Every structure is written in C-alpha cells, then in structure tokens.
Structure 1
Amino acid sequence: MTAIWALAAYITSIIVWNAALKRNIGEAMLVGLLVVTAFAGGDFLTVLGTSVLDAMQEEVTYAAIAFVVASHVLSRTPILLRLIDILNSLLGRVRGGPVYTSILGGAAFASIAHIGAAVTAAVGSITIPWMKRSGVTPAMSATVVAGCAGMGITFPFSGTMFILVGSAGVSQLMSADEIVVPLFVAGTWCLVYRLVAAFVIVRRHGIQAMDPADLLPVRRSVRVGWTSLLLLVAIAVPVALTLGPTGRALNSWTGVDVGDAISLVLWIPVLLTVLVAFLGRDALPKRPAQWWTLLGDSAPRIGVVGVTIVAAFAASGALASLGLPAQLTSLLSRLDAPLWILAICVGVLVVAVAIPLTGSATMAAIGPVAVATLVGAGVPAPVAATAVLVFASTEGASPPSAAPIYVASGIAGADPGKTFKPLVGYFCLPILAIGVFISLGALPV
C-alpha cells in the first residue's frame, strides 16, 4: 500500500502548497515530487534521479515549452489578430461562439488524433487566443481546451482502446469489434455533456457575443487576413502525413509506421513557429540580439511550465516505480459491493490512476481488472470496457499532473493552478458520472 499512500500524499501536498499556502504551481509540483520520492526510503536519490531524467526526455515536455515560445512570438505579429477577425466575422455574433467552437473542434480533432496533448496543442493554439479576445479569462480558456483533451479516448479507434481490448483479460470477454458502436455512442454522450458545460460556462461567467462595432464584414476580414489561415497548415500537414489515406499510403510506400516517425505533438509547434516567422517577418526582429531579447521575454512563462510539467512526469515515474499500478489492481480486485457502489469505486480508482499516468498507461495498468470487476457484477463486457475508457478519458482534466493542463496554460499564459477547480467541477467529476451511468445502464450505449 506504500504507493497508494504516496499518491494520496502527493495530491495533498500539492493542494496544500498551492491552495492553502498560496505558492505557485511550479513550487507545489516540486514539493509533490519530493514527497513521493521520500516514500522510496533509502532509494530516494536513485528514484528521484531516474524519474527526473525520464521526465526530461518526454516529448510533451518539449511540446509545452515550444508552444509557450511559439505563442509568445505569434503575439508579436498581427497574424493571429487577423485570423481572429475572420473567426469573429463568422461566429462572433453568437454568445460564447469561441467556447463552442473550441469544444466542437476538440471533438473533431480528437476523433482523428486521439492524443490528448496533441488535441490541446492543435485546437488551443487557435481557439485560446480567440477566447481571450472575446473576454474569456486565460484560466477559463485553458480549462475549456484541456477539458476536451480526453475526448480522443472516448471515440474509436484510439491506441488506448486497443490496449484495453487487446489485453489478455479483456480479449477473453469480448472481441474488439463489439466495442466500436458503444464507444462511439459514449463519445457522443461526452461531447453532448461538454456542450452543456459550455452553455453553463458562457452564462455563469457572463461571456457575451462580440460587440457588432468590433466585427468586420466577412469579405473584408478574409481579404485582409487570408494569409493567417495558413496557420492551419501547421496542423493539417502533420495530421495528413500520419493519418487517413495519406498516412496509409506513406506507411505502405516507406514500409514504416509514419505515425510513430512523425509526432504530432513535436511537429505542430515546429511548423507553427516556422510559419509565424515567415508570415510575420515584417513585424519580427531582424538582428540576433533582438531575437535574443524577444525570446528572453518568454523565459518566466517557460520556467513555470517547464518545471511544472517535468515535476509532474517525474512524480508519475516515481509512483510507478513504487508499484502503484500493481497495488491499485490488488485493491480493485477485492471490491465487493452493490453495482452502483462498485461502479463509483472502479471509476474513482481509474480516475485516480489517470491523475499521474496517461490514459494508455492507466488501461495497461488496471484496465483489464476494472473491466473484469464490472463484468463480474453483471455489466456486459462491451459496456464495461466502454465505461472504463470513459473513466480514463479524464486524463486531460485531472489535476495536478495532466499534461494537457500545462500545454493549454502555456498557450493561454495562465497559472495552471487556477484551472484545477473548474477542471474538476466542469469536466472531471461529470465525466466520471457519465461512466458510472453507462455502467448502470442509465445512459444506453
């Protein structure tokens, strides 16, 4: 039970340091990491060093920092303002238009890419500045985008889905084909809920439609800013090369999995930065010294985001080395209660594991046991597997360790700690409830 106690101490220490003592989230995550590694006893230094080294090699760490730099450079050019003018011309008259667009765009991209951090980066790089321009606070903008990150898990055919249904324990209970329709329906339920949450956010936070005086006619905004639409190329090119007919053709031609060779999380910020440097060249520095000053101005944001995300991944690795997956699996296998209590307990445990781990790692660790537990209580196997995937889809909205939180906060220039409470209230707990209702048959799939 050491790892379970370490997980509880980790979350508690972060909440106390950040919320009670009012310290910044970077410090809180470092304190949490030290608390976790303290549970390793005499192996403290070994576990700490290995975990930090592994965390610094995570591609999402690079992506979060790269997006901070890209968004900072982008803010020094008129490119994004022109793109936002076009979007406002089309949807600015709708109250909360950027919020709804962010959620629908997140669903569309998640159904293709399935990678939470990539969904956050691709959608957030466009919609977060738009939401901020429309009066949405930076923290709420980051919350909306990070809250959509897990939708990739709730739509077929994510890698997380295949990890679960391909495991020995689950493949004996059902075939992979049996989950496709239930999971698509569950993903639709989750999307519908997020649109309802958007409606509540728009009303509760007083988000208004744009002032008509600030809206340009569509023809004029497109004529002035059509080159800004080329920013979408930074998203479209990596997606086209790795997914769909183009991706399959390249896989066949090269003989390798292009999706593994070309990382969406890595290449989207690279292409975005290159395009910004080209399109905004007239507004950007011309001499190296000026570039050094420009990039140096982004250092404070990079510091907080970088330290926070490295500490989050390091703590995840430390918890894994302490045996968290095995201990939670053992705890889950001993549950014996009425179905509604069992479903809640299974959901809470899956969500708890998804706090420090990714959805895929969560499914590999305790997914089969979670499905078997629900099946043993009378839930059909495809429904049980669908519910467990819905539980795991909270990975993007589960503070304090979810990578999408820090990617979105980096783009928005927001304190990640200020997203924790709304993420739990608007996304994490309601998605947990949806998974429970699916288990009970109250939400048909």
Structure 2
Amino acid sequence: MPVALIALFVFLVVIVVWNVVIKRSMAEAMVIGFVATTIFAGLQAPQVAAEAIVAASDNEIMYAAIAFIFMTYLVERTGTITRLIEILTAALGRLRGGPAIVDTVASGAMGAVAGGSNTGNAATSGVITGPWMTRTGWSKARAATVIAGNAGLGAALPPSASMVIMIGFAGSLVTTSSVYIALFVAGVYQFLIRMVLIAWFVRRDGIQRVDDEAQTPVREAVRRNWPTMLIFLGAVVPVSITIGPLADLLATSPLADAMGSVSLITWIPVLIILISAIVGWRELPRTPRQWWEFLGGAASKYYAIGALLFFAIAASEVLTSLGLADDVDRLLGPLDIPAWLLVVIVGFFVVLVAGPLSSSATLSAVGQVSLVTLVAAGIDPLLAVIAILVFASTEGASPPASGAIFVASGITGAKPEQTFIPLVVYYVLPFFILGVLIALGIVPVPIT
C-alpha cells in the first residue's frame, strides 16, 4: 500500500481546503498538514514527528530562509526598490511602451535582489506603472495582464523562497551555486520572453511613444539614487567567488579552504542586508521604540513565511521516512511512459496547484514529489529542480485565484476576468512549455 503517496495526497488536500476554502493562513495550513502526515506513521507518529522537527531545526535552508525574509523586509522598508524603479523609469520610460518595459525590468530587479512574492511584486511595481500605462494608451485589461504576467519574475529569478525550498528538497542531488546560476539563466529566458510579448503588445495595440515633460532626467535620477544600485553586489560578490574564473583562482590560493565554505544562500541575503542598511541608513529607526516597531513588522513576516517553510521541511522529512521515493518508484516502474510525457504531466500538476496557491506554498506542497518523480524518470536532478521552479513561477498569472491578478486589476481598474484568457495564452502556456524544454535539456541551462 503506497502509504507515503496517500499521506502526500492528504497533505495537499488539507493545505488547499484550509487556505483556499476556509480562507485561513498558509502557515496554519502547513502546520495542520504536517500533523496529518505524521498520523500515517501509526504508533511511531510521535517519534517520527519529533525527528522531523529536529531535522527541520538543523536544516541550513531554514536559517537561510530567515535571512531571506529579513532581507526582503529591509529592502522594502528602506525604499531601495522604490529608488531602483525611479532610475528605471527615467532610463526607459520614454521608449515606446516604456511603462510596460519599466514594469518588466523592475519586476526582474525585485526578483534578483528582494526575492519577494509574486503578489508583492505586482503591487510594488504596478502601483507606479499601472496608472502610467493606462494614461499612455494601454487598455486597462492589457495593463493588468502585463503587471500580473510580470509578477512571476519574483519567483523566476534567484534568490527566492521557492528556490530555497527546492534546494532543501533536493539535498545532496544539487549544489546551491549550480541551482542559483541555472535558475538565473532560466529567469533570463523568462525575462526575454516577456520583452518580446511587450513588443508584440505595443505593435498590436498601436501604443505610441509619449514624452512626459514631468519625467525625471536620467542623469538626475542616477545622481540621486546611484548608491541603491550597489545592492546588486550582494549577489555578484558571493557568486563570483564560488563560480567562474575568480573562484578557480581562489581555489589555488591560501584562501581555498575559506572560499570552499562560502554558502550562497547564506551570504547573499547577509550581504544584501548589510548593503541595504548602509545605503538606506536614513530610513532606519533612530529610537528604541522605533526599532521595536520596525522589528515587530519583520516578525509578522516570519510568522507567515517562516512557519510555512519550517513545517514544509518537517513534512517532507515525514514523507521521506514514510518511503515517498520508494512509492513513486513502485508506481512508475510498471508504467511505460516516455520521459517527455511524464514531464508534461508533472508540469501541468505543478501549474494547476499554483493556481490557488503561491509559488512557495505550491512547492512546499508538491515540490518534493514532483522532484522525486522526475528524477525517477531519468531527468537530471538540476534540470528537474529548475523546471519545477519555472512551472511554479506561473503562480502570478494563473487564474482565477492568483493574488497578483486582483492586485493588478485593482491598480488599473480592469475587470479581473478580462485578463484570464490572455494570461493563460501569453504567460502560463509559454512558461509551462519553457519548463518542459528545460527539463528535457532542449533549452540549455548551465549544469555545474
């Protein structure tokens, strides 16, 4: 009897019902889902639960996630993202279709340095670009479609909570640096596809170039906000010393042992936090009371995301102890399914779950079984991880329950249902196909 698969099914049902039907938080849903999976251990349930909690507490991914959560909070609170968008607006705003281009680049920048949620991505960039688009000839529905479609870049580019979750599930099958680089390349593919879509929308809808005399000159925007761009060093420096020519040089130096212990998922958020604090020091609290309120705002993020990640890791430990990998092998063994068809089935499954759930919640629920299934079918573990992340990044564009759709529609004044079909055609389907092609090795990503 496939106990682990049944436990996984119950886990998924509990999460969806508790979050989507009962409308409670995903953190609560994950706790209840964890408890539900432990019941399948029978008389060993208390021991299995205790071991899973200990394993989650010792997991490096958990501590990296804590750093990522605070990093995202600090970047937003210090206004770093707002100042980056001001530079992008000045540099790209006068191009034909400029507001949509700014939204795309800004969403990519937020994904690369803040790792925020897709819904938050849509809100942060869209509040500026949405009204700007509708004012310069874009229809409300098209503007909302672009904003919601671009929101997926929050999860498509590293670092992100989704990436951290999948690295935790993959364990020794992949390295953090290899996932970071491969996901970055996959994210660039997504970015380029979005830019092509904007060019198509501009031509199809007859969007004209509009000169806005009130727009800040590029030189002035850069002069005021250039220190903000230093935040990208928080990602560039750790990646450079772990991969590439500089890493090879350091490997032969007296610093070789120290460099070998550098963890991307630890040092990227730490450096971005330090740079953000230095660049945005004027926005930091001054008094103990202000610091208490500031840290209190961060604490709410830990409850929402930290609890989700902790119990997702703990639930995955329980499913592993129940024999999930063996159950998948027994299920797939007798079946003669081509690898490409299995990838399509898994991808469709992930995209379907990502409809009502966020990308991080989706991967918490089905990331492990999706990975085990693809690896069992002979897909390279790294390619499997990247493909699953690409599938889950469609969350922002997946109707009808995606938060990004309703945020974008609220900003632009569009009817949400007017965006459903365009989002599926222009954003969900292309990135679903991209994920399939990456898993099959047809679209290349670096394998290191």
Q: Choose which of 345, 350, 364 in structure 2 pairs with 1:348.
A: 345
Contact kept? 2:113, 2:159, Cα under 8 Å: no
Matches within 5 A, 1:10-409: 10-93=11-94, 94-101=98-105, 128=121, 129-130=124-125, 133-135=128-130, 143-148=152-157, 212=212, 215-254=215-254, 256=256, 260-336=260-336, 339=338, 343-345=340-342, 347-348=344-345, 355=363, 365=372, 369-371=376-378, 385=379, 391-396=384-389
1:104-128 deviation line (CA, Å, top 9, x unaligned): 779xxxxxxxxxxxx7656659x94
Q: 1:293 to 1:323 in 2, by over 3 A?
A: same
Counterpart amino acid of residue 395 in structure 1:
I
Q: 1:348 to 1:430 in 2, by over 3 A?
A: farther
Number of residue pairs aligned between Structure 1 and Structure 2: 372
What is the SS of the residue equivalent to 1:253? coil
Matched, 1:2 2:3: yes
Per-residue deviation, 1:194: 6.2
Correspondence for 2:180: none
Q: State the TM-score, normalized to the length of structure 1.
A: 0.65
Per-residue deviation, 1:49: 1.8
Per-residue deviation, 1:43: 1.5
Per-residue deviation, 1:417: 7.9
Distance 1:333 1:150 in 2: 35
Counterpart amino acid of residue 271 in structure 2:
L
What is the SS of the residue equivalent to 2:281? coil
Distance 1:52 1:199 in 2: 49
Q: 1:21 to 1:79 in 2, by over 3 A?
A: closer
Contact kept? 2:342, 2:374, Cα under 8 Å: no
Distance 2:368 2:209 in 1: 39
Q: 1:301 to 1:347 in 2, by over 3 A?
A: same
Q: Specify every segment of 5 or more residues in structure 1 that has no aligned partner in the other structure, as ranges.
A: 107-118, 154-159, 165-182, 372-384, 409-415
1:74-104 deviation line (CA, Å, top 9, x unaligned): 4443544322211221233424224533687
Contact kept? 1:231, 1:275, Cα under 8 Å: yes
Contact kept? 1:70, 1:269, Cα under 8 Å: yes
Per-residue deviation, 1:25: 0.9
Which moved further from structure 2: 431-440 or 317-326? 431-440
Distance 2:234 2:218 in 1: 23
Per-residue deviation, 1:295: 1.0
Per-residue deviation, 1:242: 1.5
Counterpart amino acid of residue 10 in structure 1:
F
What is the SS of the residue equivalent to 1:330? helix
Distance 1:439 1:228 in 2: 36
Distance 2:186 2:225 in 1: 39
* Structural RMSD (CA): 5.0
Q: 1:79 to 1:50 in 2, by over 3 A?
A: same
Matches within 5 A, 1:393-432: 393-396=386-389, 418=403
Q: 1:210 to 1:368 in 2, by over 3 A?
A: same
Contact kept? 2:347, 2:432, Cα under 8 Å: no
Q: State the TM-score, normalized to the length of structure 2.
A: 0.65
Q: 1:140 to 1:427 in 2, by over 3 A?
A: closer
Contact kept? 1:26, 1:304, Cα under 8 Å: yes
Per-residue deviation, 1:190: 6.8
Q: Specify every segment of 5 or more residues in structure 2 that has no aligned partner in the other structure, as ranges.
A: 131-142, 164-169, 175-182, 351-361, 407-419
